[in-house]
Each structure stands twice: as structure tokens, then as C-alpha cells.
Chain A
Amino acid sequence: MTALARIRQRDWRSLTRQQLFWPLLILVALLLFNLPFTPNFFSVGVRNGHLYGSLVSILYFGTVPILVALGMTLVIATGGIDLSVGAVMAISGAIACRLISHAADQNSVSLVLEAMGLALLASLAAGLFNGLMVARAGVQPIVATLILMVAGRGIAQLITSGFILTELSKPYGVLGGYAATVPTGVFIVVGFVAVAAVLTRRTALGLLVESVGGNAEASRLAGVRAQRIKVMVYLFCALCAGVAGLWNSSSLGGADANNAGLWIELDAILAVVIGGTPLTGGRFSISGTVVGALILQTLKTTIFTIGIPAQANMVFEAVVVIIICLLQSTDFRRRVARLLRPGAARGRPVGPAGPAAPDQRPAQAAVSPESVEIPS
């Protein structure tokens, strides 16, 4: 083997080991996959005074999954999980729509701001409950948030009295509509992602979150206020869900306590995992999460635009999700590599630290060194 080839191989390997490599590759592949089916998939036009096109609609409908997944990322980074985001979305939308729809003048800006403020306060209260349950009471996150997941939807139905509340407020409609030809949701998402990224990557906060996720007890002994960090991430997650709930009800023009944010927790967790944040915590990637949520939204748009029959939607989605999960699994990649080159796998030393003198390896292994195990 020439030295040049070896260098190229090393570059390729370090590239594939980049955290964002696989998610981005999948996203690009999904986008390109649309091209033969919808030739104008990448075209963006202006209609009714705002942008339109498949890409714009991915961004438009991506608001909720990206926002919720963003909050979920930090929660998962501390080794937790938040199942209550869908219920929090329903509560937040229900409160805002109830206040607005019962008011005399729905178009009053101060009313809309007040309604949104109260809705977000309620979301923060939900986040505080989750945070205290996990951090103070020490309940497992999946159980602690299961409570609000079950009860929260009941509370939302209590607020709407079981009806679908509709509102016709113009200022409220801007939130889920368009501002300066661009979907307002894009601004919200960019704002939240930027704030989260700056707070976690330009201050020590991100490191603290990761240390709590790595080992809460050890970081507490090292002087990190682990409990406070945990409460903070649940508050942030609930805030994100609350804003997503407001956007959702504004874009629909009403609150449906039964269906608002239904199954969003599953989508959000999936987006986080696809983005390369492990469910075990201790490490997170905000950009990965955004790409992960975009992958899921693109998948949904793809299913819609290439005309897969409605009843096959979920199977298609499930198959893609399984493929993505398997691609991300290092064990799977290793097994496939081993299957493809059975000869190379047999005489291979156990680990990279083993006495791997190159001249003692079987001839085939020397021919195809890419089959050598990459430790994860």
C-alpha cells in the first residue's frame, strides 16, 4: 500500500467519525431522493407574499420538532428524558386559546401577549414539577415525566372543557404564520437554537450539563450544583415545548387538547438520537439535534410529496428509522464489515491496543485494512 492511500484512508475514517457526518449524509440523501419524484423539489418561490416550496414547508413544519427536540437534547444530556412535552404543548396552546377566544377584542396585542405569557408560565410550572421530581425527589426521569404525560393531557382537556377552541386573533396568527415572507417559526427556532448554543458552548453551562449527565454524584462532589442544573434543563425543555404549543395552536387557529403535540415526545427523542446524542447522557450535540429533526421532517414531507399511499406512511417511516438507527450503531457497522470480509475478521487481533504487528497479520488483512475494527 502506498503512503498516499493510507493517508486518504485515515482522512476518510476521521471524516466518518465526525459526529455530524452520518446525520448530514442521511439528510442530503433524503433530500436528493426526492429529486426524481419531484423535479421542482429544490425550487423556492413567492406566493401570497410569502415564500413557498417543499424546502420552505420542511422548515415551516419543522418548527415544532426542532424546538421540542432542542429542549429534549439538554434533558437527555443530563441522562434524563422528558415524556411530558406533548402534554405541555397541549396545555400551553389550550391556555392561550381559552384566554383569547373568551376575550371581547381578540385582536388586542396586549391580550395576546398576556395569553402567551400565562401559557409559558404554566409550561414553566410543568417544567419545575418535572425538574423537582427528578432532581429533588430523585425519581427516574421516565417515570417522573410519565405523570404529567398522563395527567397533563387531562389538564389541557379540563382547560378547554373538552372542546376544540378556535380563535381568530390576527396578532396571534402571526406567530404560526409568516413574518417578512419567512415563516415566523424559523425566527423562533433560530433564536432558541442560538441562545441554547451560546449558553452551552460559550459558557461553562454545557460542560456542567455534560458532567451531570456523565455522573451526577461525582459532579456534585466536584462542586457542581447537579440538582440546580437538572431543574434548569427541565425548565428549558418545558419552555421550548410551551413555545411549540403556542406556535402549533396559532398555526392551526385553535387548540385541540386531544391531538396537540400527540407523539411529539417520540419524534423529539428520535431526532435527538439520530443527531448523535446518546440516551445515556453525558454528551450532546445541538447541531446534530437540529439535523436529526430536519431528517424526520424531510422524511414526512418526502412521504407526502412522492405519493406513498397514506396507509403505508408509518411502515415507510418505521423502516427508515430502523435503517438510520442501524447505520448509527457502531456494532451494526462492525458486524456488516465483518460479514463482508470474513477472511479478514478471523485472524484479527482483539483490540487496537493488542500486539498488532502488521507483518504478522494474515495476508488478506494487509490487503484490506479498512476492515480493522474501529473502536467506538
Chain B
Amino acid sequence: MTTAKIDARPASPVPVWTRLLRDPRLPIVVTAALLVVMYAYGSYRYSFDQQVPANLLINNSYLIVAAVGATFVILTGGIDLSIGSLVGFSTVLTGLLVTKNHVPVGLAAVVVLVAGALGGLLMGCMIQYFRVPPFIATLAGLFLFRGLSLMLSKESIPINDKTVASIAQFHISLPGGAFLSVGATVALVVVALAVFVLHYTRFGRQVYAIGGNEQSALLMGLPVARTKIAVYALSGFCSALSGLVFVLYIQSGDPRAAIGMELDAIAAVVIGGTLLTGGFGYVLGSLLGVLVIGLIKTIISDEGTLSSWWIKIGTGALLLLFILLQRTVTARGTRTTR
């Protein structure tokens, strides 16, 4: 033991469980497991019925839609802080168009979606062409859109349109007696579309490539400028769609709606296992992240005796857990200490 011997053995294979621990998909598996455990605990303690998981989707549908947009941006290594403001702006614009100007609901929805996409496009151009950091450009967007919605209307605009009410009350029955709202269906469709776009289209691969290494992507001849701008436009579009879903939920246009929602969206993306440096992550993870945050809220409100601030502390603790988990996953090799 005391003499130093040269180890002539071939490099031993990595143990199975180390390999498992270092699988980049581990955070998503853990999120899913946590969701199941929390759900089991909740159903044991408060006797959840079949409608609870459906309600989880219904109550968080707008956040799911927004988190999908945030996932695209974060996958390219950027960040979008304008989500909450754009959601608020979209609700106000919908309220104004439908209630004050009596525009048909379908047309109003199209206008709102185009406005959201244009807003994202402008921020994307600032980021790509003028090299304004994404954090700052979308921060300006946060101020701008919240300000615009306050300018459009100081007070909340109630939407008493029959079409909106009937869409909001429309229920899609599921086997087992549960039902889904239109918003929840939209959220699920958006997630499915995003999975398809990210994994089965050229655009999706470009998003991952830019997030992995923008310089390499450029040298490979990928359309970096176009893709980056498109990603922000897409996030703007998702925020506007999230605003429309939110309108169904609150049936009014509120200039103060969804303040700080971008943080919920980013937290959901992180809990879902997407790396904030970009290049790795799944949309399904973000969906799970939103559901985990939503389940915390459900359990804490069902508990009744716990005050609302425990939601924040719980979300923070959960973030901590997942981030440390992500570190063990990404810590392989010697990465920079950054």
C-alpha cells in the first residue's frame, strides 16, 4: 500500500448508478416522480377526485402556454422578462376590442396574437441587430407593455360578450367524469406543437444548436439571426395566446393582470430541467414544472392553515432542490466555475 504503483488496468467502466445520476434527463424524471409523490400525498390527505388533475391543467393553462414560449427563448440561451406584461397587455387589448369596439371575438384574437408576435419580433431585432443584452431588451419590453396596457385602460374592463362566455364555459368531457376547459385544451395542443417543432423540424434543431454554441451555429451556416428573432417573436406569440387563455379565465381585461408571471414561467422551465445557459431541455419538462408549482399551490390552499407566503418559500425551496440536482448532472468533466 505504501509503495506507489502504476495502475496498468484499463479505465474501469463508469458504474451504472453514476451513469444514471449523470443522465441529463434525470431532473425531468425527478420532477415527474415528485409530481407523482406530491399527488399521492395530496390524494391521501385531501381525497382528491378525478377532477383534481384536470383542474391542475385548467387553473395553470395560461402559465403552461407562456412557459412553452419561455422554453424556446431559454433554449437559445436568452431570457424573456416581458411575458407577464405581454399577457396583461393582451387581456386589455382583447377587452378593448371586444367590449368597447365590438370587434368579433375571432378577429380580436387574431389582432392580439399578431400584436404579441410583433412585440416579440421588435425585442428580437433589438437583441440581434443592436446587440442589446436579452435581459435589458426584454426588460424594456416589460416596462413598455405594462405601460401601454395602463395607457389603454386604467381600470379592468369587464368582458360581457356572449361568445367569450360560452367559450369560457365550454367543457370537454373526459372519461371518468372529469372535464377540461378550452384553455386547458389549448395549452395541451401548444405543448404538443412545441414538442413537434423542437424535435422534428429544422427550426427546432437550429434553436438547440444556437443554445449549444452560437458561434459554432454561425460557422455551420445556420441562420442564427433569423432563428433568434423568430424565437422571441414566438415567445411574444405564446404570451399573447396565454393572455387570451387568461381572458377566458378572468373574463375581463386587466392592465394589472399577471404581474411577475415571467418569474413563474422561468421557474417552471428551470424546475423542468432546461438549462438556462441554453442548448438542453424539453418542453415536456416545462409542462411538468408548471404542474409541480400548481400542485404546491393546490396543496397549500387545501391545507387552509398555511399562509400564502409558504407558497413562495415552497417554490423557492423546490427551485433550490432542482438546481442542486441539475448541478450534479451537469458537473461531469471540468466545466468552468462560472
Contacts and interface: CB of A to CB of B under 8 A. Distances in A.
Contacts of B270: 143, 146
Nearest to A213: B338
B337 A269 contact: no
A151 B148 contact: no
A239 B132 CA distance: 29
A107 to B, nearest CB: 31
Contacts of A79: 338
A305 interface: no
Interface string A190-208: 0000000000000000000
A216 B130 contact: no
Interface string A277-293: 00110000000000000
Contact of A150 (B143, B151, B316, B338): B316
Interface in A179-229: 216-217, 220, 226-227
B337 A311 contact: no
A318 B337 contact: no
Interface stretch (A39-47, A49-57, A133-141): A133-141
B12 interface: no
Contacts of B324: 137, 139
A335 B129 contact: yes
A273 interface: yes
A153 B315 CA distance: 11
Nearest to A332: B130
A266 B139 contact: yes
A138 B338 CA distance: 6
Contacts of B276: 140, 142-143
A362 to B, nearest CB: 26
A369 interface: no
Contact of B312 (A150, A311, A312, A335): A150
A315 B150 CA distance: 9
Contact of A269 (B135, B148, B323): B135
B92 to A, nearest CB: 11
Contact of A325 (B140, B313, B337): B140
A95 to B, nearest CB: 15
Given A139-B327, A273-B136, A318-B140, A146 B337 contact: no
B323 to A, nearest CB: 5
Interface stretch (A21-29, A154-162, A165-173, A244-252): A154-162
B145 to A, nearest CB: 8
B313 A155 contact: yes
A314 B130 CA distance: 23
Interface stretch (B18-26, B48-56, B245-253, B303-311): B303-311
Contact of B320 (A81, A147, A216, A311): A147
Nearest to B81: A266
Contact of A138 (B316, B319, B337): B337
A295 to B, nearest CB: 14
Given A139-B323, A157-B312, A318-B143, A311 B154 contact: yes
Contacts, number: 148
Interface string B117-140: 000000000100111110111011
Given A146-B266, A147-B323, A312-B151, A154 B313 contact: yes
B308 to A, nearest CB: 8
B79 interface: yes
A137 B327 contact: yes
Nearest to A83: B263
A280 B129 CA distance: 17
Nearest to B131: A331
Given A144-B323, A315-B147, A154 B316 contact: yes
A146 B338 contact: no
B263 to A, nearest CB: 7
Interface string B133-172: 1011101111110111011001000000000000000000
B336 interface: yes
B143 A158 contact: no
Given A150-B267, A157-B309, A157-B312, A331 B130 contact: yes
B228 to A, nearest CB: 14
A108 interface: no
B317 interface: yes
A331 B130 CA distance: 5
B36 interface: no
B224 to A, nearest CB: 15
B34 interface: no
B190 to A, nearest CB: 24
B264 to A, nearest CB: 9
A141 to B, nearest CB: 9
B91 to A, nearest CB: 16
Given A147-B316, A314-B144, A322-B126, 13 more contacts: A151-B319, A153-B309, A217-B337, A279-B133, A311-B147, A313-B147, A315-B143, A315-B148, A316-B147, A317-B147, A318-B144, A325-B130, A331-B129
State the 3 A-B residue pairs at the shortest beta-carbon distance, nearest first.
A151-B316, A314-B147, A154-B312
